[in-house]
Amino acid sequence: MNTIKDWAYRNLKGDPVIWFIVFLLSMLSILVVYSSTGSLAYKRMGGDTEYYLFKHSALVLLSLLAMWIAHKIDYRYYSKLSLVALWLSVPLLLFTWQFGTNINEASRWITIPLINQAFQPSDLAKLALVVTLASMLSRRQKSIADFKKAIIPMLVWIGIICALIAMTNISTAVLLFGTCMLMLFIGRVPMKYLAMLALIGVVAGSAALALGQRAGTALSRIEHFIDSDEVPFQAKQAYIAVATGGLTGKGPGQSDQRNYLPHPYSDFVFAIVLEEYGMFGGLLVLSLYLALLYRGMKAAAQSDRAYGGLLSAGLSFALVMQAMVNMGVAVGLGPITGLPLPLISMGGTSQLFTGLALGIILSVSRGEIDDIGSQVTNSYSKERVKEAA
């Protein structure tokens, strides 16, 4: 037991509560995805359910590895890498919009040759924009009221990236835009400029709806949500899963709605959680996400550097807000979206970039913990020197 503790102490730096939350949600992810991929395995793999169990488990381990590597790197280095990633994201998003793999009337993926793995450039763009925005805000704190030098560069990047993502994925673009607004507010950007950004967002969003691929789908989903007499098929099946789960659920692997729900392993995975683990299981998952937000914001509050605080706050808010939207859709609190549930839904690049984002948050908390530890050590050493003298 002491050996495990020593290994964890040496290798898992940063906030231990975040590590614990991620491990719990990852284990739940493997259980729920294995349970909900039965129909998919029957259709595509001839009933070989272990195929998706091993594939998803490998992706979970890969995301944890990415998280571990990211948390070992000083978070200040990410500001240098993010701008390169942001410039790379622009042509990738344009290419995806015009030539990407089309699924459900949306081109959101690029298939990587040789490994035949789908890659979603919007995941890279989201992470790059949040990290770059945190860096730009921190460096411009002394001149934050200077519209030309401080505000315009940030508004341009937010507008370009959110508009390009909105061409194929409106819900992701809206959430990213909301995250950027929060970061600008925390970064002390004057309210008049935030109002200007909101106006730009409305104009860019309208243009994206007119030119993009998902305008009709987005509007129809909003109409169905408002009109209670026209409940979409996916929503009906999700409501049945929630209702039949009750307080304690049917038990792991006992879901019936996994055979009827479209994408029960991704978009509606929370409905399967509620069906198999009940309201108590759902509340536990909700509490874990809220705890993750609290610990991320705590790392932001404890950071002595503006960049670290903005980085942790932006990434924490982006992850948890996406989780809240996914869970809200499953229980009928919002229109249907294609957003996965971070750390639980089956996915490829979304899992990898979620792991990277969490690793960066841990790097921020690790840096502050190391700083506190060094301060305590230095204080103790000075006291010992005084005593010896």
Query: Would you say 140 and 100 are in contact if contact means Cβ atoms under 8 Å apart?
Result: no
Residue 2 has pLDDT above 90, yes or no: no
Q: Average pLDDT, stretch 56-74?
A: 91
In this structure, of 102-111, 119-128, 134-143, the range with the lowest mean pLDDT score is: 102-111
In angstroms, what is the C-alpha Rg of the chain?
22
Query: Would you say 367 and 360 are in contact if contact means Cβ atoms under 8 Å apart?
Result: no
pLDDT recorded at residue 376: 37
Q: What count of other Cβ atoms lies within 10 Å of the Cβ of residue 255?
A: 26
CA distances to 153, 162, 228, 325, 387 from 334, in Å: 33, 21, 12, 7, 64
Q: Which residue has the higher pLDDT, 377 or 129?
A: 129
Side-by-side strand order, sheet with 101-103: 101-103, 106-112, 117-119
Residue 302 has pLDDT above 60, yes or no: yes
pLDDT > 70: what percent of the chain? 84
Q: What angle do CA 29, 32, 35 make, to 5 degrees?
A: 145
pLDDT recorded at residue 10: 66
Residue 115 has pLDDT above 90, yes or no: no
Residue 306 has pLDDT above 80, yes or no: yes
Question: To the nearest whole number, what is the mean pLDDT of the chain?
Answer: 82
Binning pLDDT at 50, 70 and 90, where does residue 372 land? very low
Q: Average pLDDT, stretch 57-68?
A: 92
pLDDT recorded at residue 67: 93
CA distances to 198, 216, 217 from 176, in Å: 13, 21, 20
Residue 125 has pLDDT above 80, yes or no: yes
Query: Would you say 71 and 13 are in contact if contact means Cβ atoms under 8 Å apart?
Result: yes
Q: Average pLDDT, stretch 82-99?
A: 87
Q: Average pLDDT, stretch 143-170?
A: 85
Tokens of 60: 């979970």
Residue 18 has pLDDT above 60, yes or no: yes
Q: Which residue has the higher pLDDT, 352 or 381?
A: 352
The rounded distance, in Å, linking the Cα atoms of 192 and 36 is 47
Q: Which residue has the higher pLDDT, 4 or 278?
A: 278
Q: Which residue has the higher pLDDT, 3 or 383?
A: 3
Q: Average pLDDT, stretch 267-285?
A: 92
Extended strands (E) in 88-201: 101-103, 106-112, 117-119
